[in-house]
Homo-oligomer: A and B are copies of this chain.
Amino acid sequence: MNDIDIAQAASLQPIRHIAEKLGMPESALQPFGHHKAKVDLTYLKTLEHKPDGKLILVTGITPTPAGEGKTTTTVGLTDALNRLGHNASACLREPSLGPCFGMKGGAAGGGYAQVVPMEDINLHFTGDFHAISTAHNLLSALIDNHIHWGNELEFDQRRIVWRRVMDMNDRALRQITCGLGGPNNGFPRQDGFDITVASEVMAIFCLARDLKDLEQRLGNIVVGYRRDETPITAKELKAPGPMSVLLKEALAPNLVQTLEHNPAFVHGGPFANIAHGCNSVIATRAALKLSDYVITEAGFGADLGAEKFIDIKCRSAGLNPDVAIIVATVRALKMHGGVNKEALDTKNIDAVRSGCDNLIRHIENMKQFDVPVLVAVNRFSTDSDAELELIRDIAKFHGVSAEICSHWSDGGAGTEALAQQVVDLTQTEQPLCQPLYNNNLSLWDKVHTLATRLYRADDITADQKTRDHLKMLEGAGYGHLPVCIAKTQYSFSTDPSLKGAPSGHVVPIREVHLSAGAGFVVVVCGDIMTMPGLPREPAANRIRLNEQGNIEGLF
């Protein structure tokens, strides 16, 4: 059975039953159908006095085309903790609709470790992304409208940095000229579309603590510059009010369930390169008030995802992860050990041993944050016992427990050992997790710290224009912001072909972008795509309704 068959065969519980497990009254829910609900923000406010549960971060080794399974592990561990009698919730990112019609499948887990209803979650869900797209594009329209009617704020039309967004894989919109057709249509200028998950509104949505914080952050967005290079903000366009109105309902976190009827908050989903790649702060905080254990995931490998989770999300929201779990697979470690995708089914102890250099590097990195670490080995049917045992031994040698997890085929029952480790590890008092760098450092030094301590580069470089840009941002008062590194997720270096644990490389900064509303400076080190395209044979070709009106081919 593939993922969609398993999901469609599942019997779901009414969402109010799931809410009951968390002690929530039905009146706290805004239902969307019978199996999805938004949790009222006003209700969540009444929980503020309650103590927080334990926060468990699921991160991974450096990703490979073999797949690692962070989302399935997050879901499987949630189910396993519930099986052990604990009250545990998952906190996941919402998938983007656009890519479903391109290459990749959905993002609601897989096998017997999924959140459901998976078709809804992967398509329109509760409309959050549509609300974010609309709020973003309203700001875009207000910019061009302001210029059309006289440009009182004195936008330099060559320096507008706020693009438009669409939740679609549409390469033809990456670069456009808008405002064509004469005076009635405004001033022609260069523009383009990003996919919605790349919107700064998405990042803001995920970092906002409440509606007030949301509106404040939206007002701080820098949309363009004057000829003298002074910034113009969304607030000057009176945009935060109507944008907040558009986002008000969306900001309430979404509650769904795992296949084993345990609670999952699926809310927000920013890019993990030009943004921080975590689900919403509001959902995470809600789950912490309602559960003893909250299991959440970050984007990409631990060098990017876990780092941003801690240095950006946790620092901004005052959160503290109690355990970090690094997900690995035999197959992915083999690829780090030099094996081709075609040969992954063949037992290869040497390749696994060599590939474990990548895992070890991530273990060492996570220890720099003072966060207790576990390794989850996400088992595939082709794995040999010897390969699995080797990973356990190597992890143990580095002071970390590794557990073999089979949630994909067995659901929560396959991941109870990991769950027990989590429980044991959180029984003892741990020191608070520490960000890797102090925000008082210069922007350059922040990047340098990340590059040398996490990526094990010897140095970072940038041309004069980029160095000047960093200075300009510091002069304009943005030097205190954390940095958000956009680089390839496929290597510790900026060369995606360097697998394993490279060191001694140099990280070149290509350009920097200010995300003043989200509250970070994006440092781009390589080619970053903010609007995907569709492949030659898009997944759309096989997606349809069958005779019974059910969805086919979504994954």
- A-side residues, CB < 8 A to B, are 30-34, 41-42, 97, 101, 120, 123-124, 127, 130-131, 134, 137-138, 140-142, 144-145, 148-150, 164, 166-181, 184-186, 191, 211, 215, 238-242, 244-246, 248-249, 533-534, 536, 538, 540-545, 549, 551, 553-554
Contact = CB atoms under 8 A, between A and B. Distances in A.
Nearest to A211: B549
Nearest to A540: B242
A542 B242 CA distance: 8
Interface centre among A41, A171, A540 (most CB of B within 10 A): A540
Contacts of A176: 176-178, 180, 191
B166 A137 contact: yes
B242 A149 contact: no
A131 B41 CA distance: 26
B246 A172 contact: no
B142 A534 contact: yes
A536 B149 contact: yes
The 4 closest A-B CB pairs, nearest first, are A241-B544, A175-B181, A130-B130, A144-B172
A170 B133 CA distance: 14
B242 A140 contact: no
Interface centre among A150, A185, A541 (most CB of B within 10 A): A185
Nearest to A184: B171
Given A141-B534, A169-B141, A176-B176, A543 B245 contact: yes
A179 to B, nearest CB: 4
Interface centre among A124, A168, A186 (most CB of B within 10 A): A124
A32 B34 CA distance: 9
Given A30-B33, A32-B31, A541 B131 contact: no
A246 B127 CA distance: 12
B549 A248 contact: yes
Counted per complex, copies of this chain come to: 2
A542 B245 CA distance: 11
Contacts of A131: 124
B168 A186 contact: no
A538 B145 contact: yes
A241 B142 contact: no
Nearest to A177: B177
Contact of A101 (B138, B164, B166, B248): B138
Contacts of A34: 30-31
A168 B238 contact: no
Given A31-B34, A138-B540, A144-B172, 19 more contacts: A30-B33, A41-B549, A101-B138, A101-B242, A130-B134, A140-B172, A141-B170, A141-B172, A144-B170, A144-B171, A148-B171, A148-B533, A175-B181, A175-B185, A176-B176, A215-B545, A240-B544, A241-B553, A245-B554
B30 A137 contact: no
B31 A544 contact: no
B172 A185 contact: yes
Contacts of A172: 140-141, 144, 148, 178-179, 185-186, 191
A185 B181 contact: no
A354 B26 CA distance: 60
Contacts of A554: 245
A141 B124 contact: no
B174 A185 contact: yes
A115 to B, nearest CB: 18
Contacts of A538: 142, 145
A244 B42 CA distance: 36
B551 A245 contact: yes
